Structure formats: structure tokens, C-alpha cells
Amino acid sequence: MPLQEYAWTLLGTTGPWSTTFTSSGLYSRYLVKFSLSGIPSASDLRVELDGVDMGWVPRQDIGFDRWHYDVYRDGGLSGGVHEVKFILNNKEIEGQAQLCSVEVLEFGNQTQ
């Protein structure tokens, strides 16, 4: 687990919330876990890892409640520093759009 952060922060449109972490580059797959509240629409928020859109889609029946999301990727992270970023696109939900937590977990395969 190269990243575990409990941000509990409101997101704003004036700048993204971001943090960096270091991967050893030794694992064959990874999972980005995060929890959000106050963000009902996919167009309201962009979640990136190293500048690439993670394709976050909110659970349709959750509305403004907090929910935990998992974005799984086959293929490992390269060794070195990586950045995860949360970019709020909707000024109308400032003051309620919240990043609660973010984690990155790396996994091996049957030979690792």
C-alpha cells in the first residue's frame, strides 16, 4: 500500500487536490480506492493517475451520500513517483463536494 490518506477535504474548482506516492514497480496490478461525498454526476469530477483519467463513474443511486469506489487495473505501475489528482469541474457543488479518503494498493500475481 504505497498510499493511504484520509484527506477529509472539500474540493474546489480553483485547483485540484493531489498527492504523490512512490511505487517500487515490482507488482503486476493495482487498485485505486477512494471515497467521495457530495458529487452526484461523473461530469462533476475527474479522477486522474499520472494525468490519465481513471474513468470514475458515480453510483447512480447514491446521490450526495458518501460512497467508496474501486478502480482496478491490470498492469503494474512503473517504479518511481506517481500522482493521483481529483479535479472538481462543477462550481455549483463547491462546499459539499468532498474527498474523504484515497488509497493505492499494489498486487502481485501467482509468480510474485
Residue among 86, 40, 84 at smallest CA distance from 63: 40
The length of the chain, given as a count of residues: 112
Entry pTM: 0.93
Q: Which fold has domain 3-101?
A: Jelly Rolls (2.60.120)
How many Cβ atoms sit within 10 Å of the Cβ of residue 64? 15
For the chain, the structural domain boundaries read 3-101
Residue 46: per-residue pLDDT: 98
Residue 112: per-residue pLDDT: 54
> Mean pLDDT, to the nearest integer, of 68-91?
96
How many Cβ atoms sit within 10 Å of the Cβ of residue 97? 25
pLDDT in tens, 1-46: 999 999 999 999 999 999 999 999 999 999 999 999 999 999 999 9
Between CA 104 and CA 21 the distance in angstroms is 9
Residue pair 90/43 in contact (Cβ under 8 Å)? The answer is yes
C-alpha cell at 12: 474546489
Q: What angle do CA 27, 99, 61 make, to 5 degrees?
A: 95
Between CA 73 and CA 76 the distance in angstroms is 8
